[in-house]
Amino acid sequence: MANPEHPRLIIHDFLSLDLCKELEFIQKSCGTVGYRPNVFSTTLSHLIATNCGHLIMPFVPIRERLKEKAEEFFGCEFELFVEFTGLISWSTGASIGWHSDDNRPYLKQRDFAAVCYLNSHGEDFEGGLFHFQDWQPATIVPMAGDVVMYTADSRNIHSVDEIIGGERLTLTLWFSRDGSHDEDAKLISFLSEKQLPRSIHETRSFLPQPASSRMYWFPPETASTYESGFDICFARIHAHGYDLYSLQDISCFSASDSSNDLSEVSMAPLRLAREHELFVEEFVNILHVLQAVQFYCWKASELQTSGHEKRINVVPLSPSQREEVNRLKHVFLKDERVPDKLFRSATVDERSQQPFNWARVSAAVTAWEAYSNKLVKELLLSLPCWKTHQSIFSVPSFDLGK
Ligand SMILES: O=C(O)CCC(=O)C(=O)O
Ligand SMILES: [Fe+2]
């Protein structure tokens, strides 16, 4: 039973650790600028906009379970709509002071919040404790799989301490009783407008399309520390120890010129490099590279014994290629300390104490394609049912003809 003065609920182990890892993959491979400094987020409409609508699929059963739980606990069965679903990552320096979640005129439709923790305090990040201003529990220590739900009004004033290291990841949902703020209707209409593949057999329908706003600009008070901004995708790729080699002519770019238009380079084919080696496989754009790199981080332990070793195409970087790789790095990043400060955590190889291995990267590219294809298929089969019901839900497998 909810305490009427401070209606809130904490559920331990609500999400499996596997699901937390899958959502971490989505956030780290698709996240863009968030709503506060040092915060990055992935909304479902951002996924659709970047041709990754299929990545909505893992959220569908979680949204349903969370909505049911909120309706049951707060006593409003069949009354709620999901108003917002987003993955949010908080990097070093991010925090939020005392507030309620409906504290702006444009947020008044928010009735309830659900925050799911996708990684753990003390293991993945430091700082970032959650506090309620009144009553119990006064502090929540975020642990992967746990969920906190609370009313969005002033009965649940809360704050989050500054992150002092690592990256804190959450899946955050808000629910509304007001159907005009139903996120589903907007997402379904956005999905319907997009040129979705007509069939799963349409080649490479899962390839991502970078959004135009991948730049993170520092707030003016810290801008001098890092000059200006950086490309989020590039920063994440670099934080994992990789560089990029462009197949375009990049001789016109210079690191000292802040008016470089990088979109042409990042939307065009690229190759991955690491130390003195160049991976010959071509990626269609920077988001494609990042998804493959993050997929490798997610699945590395399962990819080790796939027997791909013989087909790996890696060549030494020539001195001129090395020069181009460095030029691109300085144009994209300006300051190399940035990715480390915001995104660096132990890499897969460091965690498993394995030497880096291109064979597993190659296996990751293949496995990422199979994963994406499976989700595209599920999306294509579900969308007609969603359109009919104007609601996003897990379509039973017999309706999908499975
Ligand atoms: O991530 C959390 O623990 C809470 C975040 C929060 O308060 C908000 O986004 O409004
Ligand atoms: Fe909040």
Mutate to test the pocket of ligand 1, among 41, 121, 160, 168 (most ligand atoms within 8 A of CB): 160
pLDDT of 353 > 70? The answer is no
pTM: 0.92
Question: Which stretch of 140-149, 271-280, 307-316, 322-331 has the lowest confidence by average pLDDT?
Answer: 307-316
Condensed to tens digits (0 to 9), the pLDDT of residues 367-394 reads 999 999 999 999 999 999 999 999 999 9
Which are the contacts of 292, defined by CB distance < 8 A and separation ≥ 6?
272, 283, 361, 364, 365, 368
Condensed to tens digits (0 to 9), the pLDDT of residues 292-313 reads 999 999 998 887 655 555 567 8
Atom of ligand 1 nearest to the CA of 168: 1
Alpha carbons 189 and 191: distance in angstroms, whole number: 5
Atom of ligand 1 nearest to the CA of 90: 1
Q: What are the counts of helices (DSSP H) followed by strands (DSSP E) for the chain?
A: 12, 18
| Domain assignments of the chain as residue spans, ordered by start | 8-193, 213-364
Instruction: Reduce the DSSP state of residue 378 to 3 states and report it.
Output: helix
Question: Taking the alpha carbons of 314, 320, 324, 330 in that order, is the dihedral positive or negative?
Answer: positive
pLDDT of 398 > 70? The answer is no
pLDDT of 204 > 60? The answer is yes
N-term to C-term CA, the chain: 40
Alpha carbons 199 and 35: distance in angstroms, whole number: 36
Structure tokens at 64: 């349903």
Mutate to test the pocket of ligand 1, among 89, 96, 131, 173 (most ligand atoms within 8 A of CB): 96
> Alpha carbon 6 to chain centroid distance?
31
User: Could you tell me where the DSSP H helices lie in 194-318?
Assistant: 220-226, 232-239, 263-266, 286-303
Residue among 330, 253, 339 nearest 290 (CA): 339
Q: What is the mean pLDDT of the chain?
A: 87
Question: Which stretch of 17-26, 193-202, 291-300, 368-377 has the lowest confidence by average pLDDT?
Answer: 193-202
Binding pocket residue ranges, ligand 1, CB within 6 Å: 96, 101, 115, 130, 158, 160, 170, 172
Structure tokens at 248: 């375009």
Which of the listed CATH numbers 2.60.120.620, 1.10.8.60, 1.10.260.30, 3.40.50.1000 matches domain 8-193?
Answer: 2.60.120.620
Nearest residue (CA) to ligand 1, atom 3: 130
The secondary structure element, H or E, covering residue 231 is: strand 229-231
Map 168-187 to HEC letters: EEEEEEEEECCHHHCHHHHH
Cβ burial of 73 (10 Å; 0-12, 13-18, 19+) is: middle
Alpha carbons 274 and 349: distance in angstroms, whole number: 14
Contact 274, 356 (CB under 8 A): yes
Contact 41, 34 (CB under 8 A): yes
pLDDT of 157 > 90? The answer is yes
Cβ burial of 313 (10 Å; 0-12, 13-18, 19+) is: exposed
Atom of ligand 1 nearest to the CA of 142: 3
ipTM of the complex: 0.99
Q: Give pLDDT, residue 37.
A: 81
Residue among 113, 76, 104, 88 nearest 35 (CA): 88
